C-alpha cells in the first residue's frame, strides 16, 4: 500500500482520522469492557432462549461486482469469484466454527453473521454454473453470495428481489476498477431497499486508489477512489466502510466489530459504535496479520470524516488460510477442459499459490510493483498437493492455476509438485499418504485420476531464463501429472512495443521477441500440450503498423498449429499502473459514473469502456483489431457468442481473482 503515497498525482485526505494500530495498547473505547460485553451476552442468551437460536445470527450478502453489461457478442467472465471467496475465507471459517450454542462460541461469541454451515457434497455436485443462487431461510455459506456475472436489467431485478427477501444487515462488495461503477450502483440499491444495511467495499480498485503513508499516519488517495468520489459528490454516499490490502484477517476483525456494534433486537449496525468496537478488539487482540487497512465513515456528521485503521501485521502464508472453496461451491466450467469420451465441459476450480506477479510490467495491476508478493510457504509442495486433493473432494474435475506464473516460475518447485501429484494420482487410495486418504473417497479418487489441469507460464521463463532442455523437462513433468494446457502472455509481436514491456528481459536465439515467442510455444507443443495466448493491444509504442504486425505474426503461429487459442485484449488503464501516469490518465479515469456509452466495438473486449482504454488506440483502431483478429485468427480467436457464453481460462479471460486482493480487501 505504501507505493501509492509516492505518486505525485495523489492528494492528501484532510478529513481522515488515522488511528494508531501498530501496538496492542490502542486506546480502548469506554463503551466496551469485559463486564459490559458479558452483560450484553446475557441479554442475548435470554432473547435466544425465548425466540430461538436464529436470533443470534444476522443475514449477510456478499457480491462480486461484474465488469460488464450484457450486449450481443460481448465477452463476460465465466469464472468463480475467487477474489471474493479468498477475502471471506478466514471470516467465514471462524463464523462456521462458532455456529451453535452461544456459550460454546470462542471467536464470534456475540451476534454473528449467518455463516453457519458449509455446503454439503451433494449440493456441491449438483450446482449449475449460473452465478445466481436463491437465498434460503437457513442458507449454507455458498447461498449467501450474489454473483451476477453481468450487470443488466435481469441482474438488477434479481438483486432488488434478493434485498427485499433477505434484508441483509451487512453487504460485502468486491470490485476491480472496471466494475466500480456497478459496485456503486449495487450499493445504491442496497441503501434504497434496506437503508440501515452496512455496506463494505473492497477489491483491487480500492487497493489502487487509497493508501496510508508517512509512517502510517497520513492517507492519500487518487481522484478515482471510492471515498473521493463520494466526498465530492460525484457518487452518492452509499458505502460505509472500505477495506484494502491483504484483508483476510482484517475483514474478520471488521465483521466482529460490526457484530458488537449491533442492537440486539433489530440487529442493525450502529456505524458510530463500530469505530469503538473496532478499537476495543484491536486493544484486546492486537493488529491482524497482513498489510491492510479499514476505513470507516463517521456517521455522526456529514463532513466526510473517515476513520482509518492501518495494519502492518505479520506476513501471511497463503497455504495457512482456509481454502477459498471450503465455503463455496465450484461453478466454473471452462471449455478447454472436456471429457474425452462425452465432450462434456468439466467443472473447473481456480487455484493460486501466489498473489502477484514477480514481473513489473507497467500496464499490469497484478505486478509485484503494486502488490505484496505472498506465496504458499513452508512445505509448499505438499500443501499444494493437499489443496488439489481438497478441491477434488469438493467436486473439481479440472483445475486452472491462476498464478501469473505457475509456482512463480521456480522450476524446482514445479518438478517437485508435479512428481508428487503424479505419484498420488497413480496410487490406489489405500496406498495414499494418510493426509490424502482423509480427503478422497473412492468416487473422488476416480475423479482425481482423471483430473485435467492448466497453468500460466511466460515466454522468458521458458526460453530466456532456462535452457531449452530444462524447460522441456518441466513441461514433460507437468504433462505426466495431468496438465494438458499452458497459457502464455504474448502481449505483442512488435519489437517497438515489447521494448517498453518488462517481459523481453534477455535476448536469445535471433534476439527478436517474435522468435522467442515461437520458440516458447513450440516447446509447449512439442510436449503434446495445448497452447493459449493473450495478446494486448494499446501498449506504449503501439501504431496501426504494429497492430497489423502482431495480428499477422500471431496468425502465422496459428497457421503452423503452434497456438490453439488466441485472446485479443485492449489495454485498459488501472489507477495505480505506471502506464496510466505516463499517458496522463491518472486524474481522468471515470470509474464511477452510473451510465456510460458502453457500445461496440468496446463490448467485444474485456474491461474496455470509452474513456479508460489506451490513448494509443482510436475507436477506428479498436474496430480494426476486432475485425482483423476475427478474420485472420478465425476459430482460434477466443471469443464469446450468444450460443456459448463462455471463455477459456487465462490472463485475458479471468480477472486476477484468486490473489485475494480483489476482496472486501
Q: What is the pLDDT of residue 507?
A: 58
Q: What is the pLDDT of residue 504?
A: 54
3-state SS, residue 499: coil
Q: What is the pLDDT of residue 644?
A: 28
454 - beta bridge partners?
Answer: 400, 485
Q: What is the pLDDT of residue 659?
A: 29
Neighbouring residues of 471: CB distance < 8 A, sequence distance ≥ 6: 461, 462, 463, 523
Neighbouring residues of 70: CB distance < 8 A, sequence distance ≥ 6: 76, 150, 151, 152
3-state SS, residue 388: helix
Looking at the predicted structure, is the pLDDT value of residue 551 above 60? yes
Looking at the predicted structure, is the pLDDT value of residue 357 above 70? no
Give the C-alpha distances (Å, rounded to integers) separating 221 from 190, 199, 575, 664: 25, 20, 10, 18
Q: What is the pLDDT of residue 61?
A: 98
For residue range 183-226, list pLDDT tens digits in order: 999 999 999 999 999 999 999 999 999 988 766 667 888 889 99
Looking at the predicted structure, is the pLDDT value of residue 661 above 50? no
Higher pLDDT: 74 or 12? It is 12
Q: What is the pLDDT of residue 356?
A: 65
Higher pLDDT: 454 or 403? It is 454
List helix spans (H) across 17-67.
34-51
Cell (9 digits) for 296: 470507516
Neighbouring residues of 477: CB distance < 8 A, sequence distance ≥ 6: 414, 415, 418, 419, 422
Looking at the predicted structure, is the pLDDT value of residue 651 above 60? no
Least confident range from 78-92, 443-457, 620-634: namely: 78-92
Label residue 558 by pLDDT band (50, 70, 90). very high
Higher pLDDT: 55 or 364? It is 55
Give the C-alpha distances (Å, rounded to integers) separating 256 from 145, 277, 285: 19, 8, 12
Overall residue count recorded for the chain in this entry: 665
Q: Percent of the chain scored above 90 by pLDDT? A: 64
**Mean pLDDT in the chain?**
87
Label residue 502 by pLDDT band (50, 70, 90). low
CB-neighbour burial class of residue 455 (10 A; exposed 0-12, middle 13-18, buried 19+):
buried
Q: What is the pLDDT of residue 613?
A: 92
CA distance 599 to 462: 39
Q: What is residue 637's DSSP assignment? A: B
Domains of the chain: 2-245+247-315 (no CATH), 319-571+614-636 (3.80.30.20)
For residue range 296-335, list pLDDT tens digits in order: 987 655 556 889 999 988 889 998 999 999 999 999 999 8
Q: What is the pLDDT of residue 346?
A: 96
H or E element at residue 210: strand 210-213
- Whether the Cβ atoms of residue 256 and residue 281 lie closer than 8 Å to each other: yes
For residue range 408-425, list pLDDT tens digits in order: 899 999 999 999 999 999
Q: What is the pLDDT of residue 213?
A: 77
Q: Which residue has the cell 471515498?
A: 227
Q: Percent of the chain scored above 70 by pLDDT? A: 85
Q: Which of 128, 186, 197 is CA-nearest to residue 158?
A: 186
The neighbour count for residue 42, using CB atoms within 10 Å, is: 11
Q: What are phi and psi of 382, to 5 degrees?
A: -60, -45
For residue range 31-83, list pLDDT tens digits in order: 788 888 999 999 999 999 999 998 999 999 999 999 875 554 444 445 899 99
Looking at the predicted structure, is the pLDDT value of residue 137 above 90? no
For residue range 382-398, list pLDDT tens digits in order: 999 999 999 999 999 99
Q: What is the DSSP string of 333-387?
A: EEEEEE-TTT-PEEEEEEE-SBSSBSS--TT-TTBTTTS---B--SSHHHHHHHH
Q: What is the pLDDT of residue 435?
A: 87
- Whether the Cβ atoms of residue 492 and residue 546 lie closer than 8 Å to each other: yes
Amino acid at each position: 500500500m505504501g507505493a501509492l503515497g509516492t505518486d505525485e498525482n495523489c492528494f492528501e485526505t484532510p478529513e481522515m482520522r488515522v488511528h494508531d494500530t501498530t501496538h496492542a495498547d490502542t486506546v480502548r473505547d469506554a463503551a466496551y469492557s469485559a463486564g459490559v460485553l458479558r452483560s450484553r451476552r446475557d441479554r442475548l442468551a435470554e432473547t435466544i432462549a425465548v425466540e430461538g437460536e436464529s436470533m443470534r445470527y444476522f443475514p449477510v450478502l456478499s457480491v462480486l461486482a461484474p465488469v460488464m453489461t450484457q450486449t450481443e457478442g460481448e465477452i463476460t467472465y465465466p469464472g468463480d469469484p475467487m477474489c471474493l471467496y479468498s477475502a471471506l475465507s478466514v471470516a467465514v471459517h471462524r463464523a462456521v466454527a462458532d455456529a451453535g450454542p452461544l456459550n460454546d462460541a470462542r471467536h464470534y461469541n456475540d451476534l454473528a453473521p449467518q455463516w453457519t454451515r458449509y455446503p454439503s457434497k451433494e449440493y456441491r455436485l449438483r450446482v449449475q454454473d449460473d452465478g445466481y443462487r436463491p437465498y434460503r431461510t437457513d442458507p449454507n455459506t455458498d447461498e449467501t453470495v450474489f454473483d451476477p456475472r453481468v450487470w443488466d436489467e435481469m441482474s438488477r431485478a434479481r438483486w432488488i428481489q434478493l434485498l427485499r427477501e433477505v434484508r441483509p444487515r451487512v453487504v460485502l462488495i468486491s470490485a476491480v476498477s472496471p466494475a466500480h461503477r456497478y459496485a456503486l450502483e449495487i450499493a445504491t440499491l442496497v441503501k434504497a431497499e434496506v437503508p440501515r444495511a452496512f455496506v463494505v467495499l473492497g477489491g483491487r480498485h480500492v487497493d489502487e486508489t487509497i493508501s496510508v503513508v508517512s509512517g502510517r499516519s497520513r492517507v492519500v488517495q487518487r481522484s478515482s477512489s471510492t471515498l473521493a468520489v463520494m466526498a465530492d459528490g460525484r457518487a452518492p454516499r452509499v458505502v460505509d466502510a472500505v477495506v484494502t490490502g491483504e484483508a483476510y484477517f482484517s475483514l474478520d476483525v471488521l465483521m466482529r466489530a460490526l457484530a458488537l456494534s449491533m442492537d440486539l433486537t433489530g440487529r442493525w449496525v450502529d456505524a458510530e459504535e463500530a469505530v469503538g468496537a473496532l478499537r476495543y478488539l484491536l486493544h484486546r487482540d492486537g493488529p491482524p496479520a497482513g498489510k491492510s487497512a479499514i476505513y470507516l465513515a463517521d456517521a455522526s456528521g456529514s463532513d466526510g470524516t473517515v476513520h482509518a485503521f492501518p495494519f502492518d501485521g505479520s506476513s501471511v502464508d497463503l497455504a495457512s488460510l482456509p481454502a477459498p472453496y471450503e465455503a463455496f461451491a465450484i461453478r466454473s466450467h471452462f471449455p478447454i477442459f472436456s471429457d474425452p469420451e462425452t465432450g462434456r465441459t468439466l467443472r473447473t476450480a481456480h487455484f493460486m499459490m501466489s498473489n502477484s506477479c514477480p514481473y513489473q510490467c507497467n500496464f499490469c495491476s497484478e505486478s509485484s510493483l503494486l502488490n505484496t508478493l505472498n506465496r504458499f510457504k513452508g512445505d509448499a509442495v505438499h500443501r499444494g498437493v493437499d489443496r488439489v486433493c481438497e478441491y477434488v473432494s469438493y467436486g473439481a474435475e479440472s483445475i486452472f492455476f491462476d498464478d501469473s506464473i505457475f509456482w512463480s516460475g521456480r522450476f524446482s518447485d514445479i518438478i517437485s509438485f508435479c512428481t508428487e501429484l503424479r505419484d498420488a494420482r497413480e496410487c490406489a487410495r489405500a496406498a495414499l499418504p494418510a493426509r490424502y486418504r482423509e480427503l478422497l473417497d473412492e468416487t473422488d479418487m476416480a475423479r482425481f485420476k482423471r483430473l485435467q489441469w492448466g497453468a500460466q507460464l511466460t515466454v522468458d521463463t521458458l526460453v530466456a531464463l532456462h535452457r531449452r532442455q530444462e524447460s522441456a523437462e518441466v513441461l514433460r513433468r507437468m504433462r505426466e501429472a495431468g496438465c494438458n494446457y499452458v497459457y502464455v502472455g504474448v502481449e505483442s509481436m512488435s519489437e517497438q512495443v515489447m521494448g517498453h514491456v518488462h517481459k523481453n528481459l534477455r535476448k536469445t536465439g535471433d534476439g527478436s521477441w517474435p522468435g522467442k515467442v515461437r520458440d516458447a510455444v513450440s516447446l509447449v507443443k512439442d510436449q503434446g500440450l495445448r497452447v493459449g495466448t493473450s495478446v494486448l493491444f494499446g501498449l506504449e509504442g503501439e501504431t496501426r503498423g504494429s497492430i497489423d504486425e502482431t495480428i499477422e505474426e500471431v496468425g502465422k503461429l496459428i497457421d503452423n498449429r503452434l497456438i490453439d487459442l488466441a485472446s485479443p485484449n485492449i489495454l485498459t488503464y488501472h489507477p495505480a499502473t505506471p502506464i496510466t501516469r505516463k499517458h496522463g490518465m491518472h486524474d481522468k479515469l471515470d470509474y464511477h459514473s452510473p451510465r456510460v456509452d458502453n457500445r461496440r466495438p468496446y463490448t467485444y473486449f474485456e474491461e474496455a469502456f470509452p474513456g479508460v482504454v489506451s490513448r494509443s488506440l482510436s475507436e477506428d483502431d479498436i474496430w480494426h483489431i476486432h475485425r482483423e483478429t476475427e478474420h485472420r485468427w478465425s476459430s482460434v480467436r477466443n471469443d464469446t457468442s450468444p450460443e456459448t457464453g463462455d471463455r477459456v481460462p487465462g490472463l485475458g479471460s479471468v480477472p486476477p481473482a484468486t490473489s485475494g486482493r480483489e476482496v472486501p480487501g
